[in-house]
Amino acid sequence: MTRKYFGTDGVRGRVGETPITPEFALKLGWAAGKVLASQGQASVVVGKDTRLSGYLLESALEAGLSAAGVSVRLLGPMPTPAIAHLTRAFHASAGIVISASHNPYYDNGIKFFGADGKKLADAVESDIEAWLERPLEIDAPDRLGKAMRQEDARGRYIEFCKSTFPFHLSLRGLRIVLDCANGASYQVGPAVFTELGAEVIRLACAPDGLNINRDCGSTHPDSLRKAVLEAKADLGIAFDGDADRVVMVDAMGEVVDGDEIIVMIARERVAQGQQIGGVVGTLMSNMGMELALRDMGLEFVRAKVGDRYVMAELERRGWALGGEASGHVVCLDKTTTGDAIIAALQVLAAMVRSDTPLHELKKGMAKLPQRMINVRIAAKREVSGEPAILRAVEEAEGRLAGRGRVLLRPSGTEPVIRVMVEGEDAALVESLAAAIAETVERALA
């Protein structure tokens, strides 16, 4: 069935507008509870980020789940990957995260993990949508679900993260600036790196319900760059609001993105003799990543943009490592979903083991110049049938001579065609992108 509310990452929108209202959250909790309860006695863990609206949505979801006879463990502010882990640790039927990730405070969302700690199957989401069309009926008073606060949730997740870092290694001697985006990792993030021995300088670790992702975190690394240089730190680490994305900054103040992080983790896995098969990126992954992995003898496959598609391709191939340049990095040999803290720990382990600073470690991948232009069009249209556009792309690919890429991708949310050109010559890349964008605008305006 065509889904009305669930997108690629749960239900998301502006607070106060359908579907991010208390009425809808109540009904969604009830509908999800009915689907889960149909499979037997059900329990759910619920976590959130630091948005002010999280209180409202948490209470509404709790009431809806209870009305369906489902018991709830409330975890409080916790990273999205922590909810995935604790869903499995508590043998819960599902995990629910109240978060809009890297979006501003006035947005929020509700997303689900299955009992296996992975994203809920499409079929289950469709079943929940079907229940949303039914009238809400409360279970008998003696069958209502209970709710409890899980006071030790934070400590459980901290220990899990630390367990992914080699026991015989330590972060002693490293000075790290940690930017938690005033989000869900503001308590667990500093604890993990401090307990492993690092000196941690905290940045954006004082959430007030409204400042999540505001001029901080993985989407705004400038303040982290400045802090690293001022503190003469060894490196900086930035998470987004729900801590499933990470970018880093080296001691020179240069940003290290998800593509570079994945390459460093892959190289460390190979150096340790692990058989990782290959790596999954996306259509937007830098070609320098592909070339670096090829030099390591690793296969590289591109999935559609979005962590859901990366995960699907990894599972299909039986591989463990993949992600996006935005910093969503998946290490399936360590956990079940993208986890910013765990990804950062894998890079730190490589640094410590090889006694190599981040600036040197990242040199194994040379990023190719990349230019993307968003071309606004009158209405959503396909570009594949436009002869002028096809000619422009073919000519550009000819000039790149196999040492670059051209990608035209329609936006999934607005009438925009994204024109991306990548190659070794920055000036050529810029001119080709501009020429193709102009052709697209003339053909589709």
> What is the structure's pLDDT at 384?
72
> What is the structure's pLDDT at 220?
97
CATH classification code of 370-444? 3.30.310.50
Out of 3.40.80.10, 3.40.120.10, 2.40.50.100, 1.10.10.10, the CATH code matching 157-364 is: 3.40.120.10
Q: Are 7 and 13 in contact (CB under 8 A)?
A: no
The DSSP code for 254 is -
- With CA atoms as reference, report the closest residue to 81 among 399, 313, 311: 311
From the candidates 43, 53, 71, 101, which is the catalytic residue? 101
Distance CA 160, CA 342 (A): 9
> What is the structure's pLDDT at 3?
77
Distance CA 215, CA 248 (A): 16
322 - beta bridge partners? 280, 330
Domains 11-151 and 157-364 agree in fold: yes
101 among known catalytic residues: yes
Distance CA 173, CA 196 (A): 11
> What is the structure's pLDDT at 411?
76
430, with CB counted inside 10 A (0-12, 13-18, 19+), is middle
Q: Are 350 and 169 in contact (CB under 8 A)?
A: no
Distance CA 212, CA 199 (A): 24
Give the residues of the chain that fall short of pLDDT 50: 1
CATH classification code of 11-151? 3.40.120.10
> What is the structure's pLDDT at 68?
97
Strands 329-331 vs 321-323: parallel, antiparallel or unpaired: antiparallel
What is the pTM assigned to this prediction? 0.93
- Give me the phi and psi of 73, to 5 degrees please: -105, 120
> What is the structure's pLDDT at 312?
94
> What is the structure's pLDDT at 306?
87
Please write the tens of the pLDDT for every residue from 364-387.
Answer: 899 999 999 999 887 766 777 789
User: How is the chain split into domains, by residue range?
Assistant: 11-151, 157-364, 370-444
Distance CA 298, CA 195 (A): 34
